[in-house]
Amino acid sequence: MISHTLNKWRTVLVAFVLVTVTACQQAPVTGRSQFILIPESQDASLGLSAYREILSKSEISRDQELNERVRRVGRRIAAVSQHPEYEWEFTVINDDNPNAFALPGGKVGVNTGLFKVAKNDDQLAAVMAHEVGHAIARHGSERVSQQMAVQLGLAGLGIAASTQTDNAAQYVHLAAQLATLGLVLPFSRNQESEADHIGLLYMAEAGYDPREAVNLWRNFEAFGGGRPPEFLSTHPSPGTRIQRLQSLMPEAYAIYQQRTGY
């Protein structure tokens, strides 16, 4: 029994090492090392499928002026990204929640509630550039890959703990909680910060004033709403984002000045 368990554990360990070695990539702009198991060639189909499902369950805005504004700003941002050739789509959804989302392959949704805090095109560009940054950095595929690795690790722990059946379930449950607090949530916050970084440079390159990204997050901070403590959230707090954006502003504003002459 013990020998059989050890063999299964070795199989899980070897599989984990192999996927770790073969799935290392680098994020654009920041150069951060990434762990992505999904081939880039599958991003478009996965993103399109998820996009269609979301839109089928949503109320699409019929405001032509608002949709055209979002498409115009989004396309201008996408044009300066590393992948302008993606089949970019930008859709406005009737939803009072001030939010937006990006899916693999360049599918972006923007809620009408966002315009409660995005007061001008430059602030809208900060959001659009952030979402384009998510798509370009393949954050969706990275999250899925990271969750797959966590599940593989938990499966291995379950095999290892199976020799102590009295505590096996408790070990796996505790490990899952620790993985969420220690890996999954911080990892997601890192992605958000990276998308802020990439997006700030994209919006500047596209000719939008990067200083408005700070004003956007000040608007979010003033908008309020209940938020969990930052260490339990998948997103940095507005104050943290503002500090980070301000530290990146000299680089972004230099790009903006070069691009616009202002």
pLDDT tens, position by position, 238-255? 899 999 999 999 999 999
Those residues with Cβ within 8 angstroms of residue 201's Cβ, 6 or more apart along the chain or in another chain: 29, 210, 248, 251, 252, 255
Residue 9 has pLDDT above 80, yes or no: no
pLDDT tens digits for 64-92? 999 999 999 999 999 999 999 999 999 99
pLDDT tens digits for 17-55? 445 444 678 999 999 999 888 888 888 998 999 999 999
Least-confidence region, from 62-71, 81-90, 100-109, 144-153: 144-153
Provide the pLDDT for residue 165.
52
- Residue 257: half-sphere exposure toward Cβ, Cα within 13 Å: 6
Which of 40, 85, 131, 142 is flagged as catalytic? 131
Q: Is 53 a catalytic residue?
A: no
> pTM for the full model?
0.79
Residue 10 has pLDDT above 90, yes or no: no
- Going from the C-alpha of 213 to that of each of 112, 163, 259, the distances in angstroms are 18, 54, 17
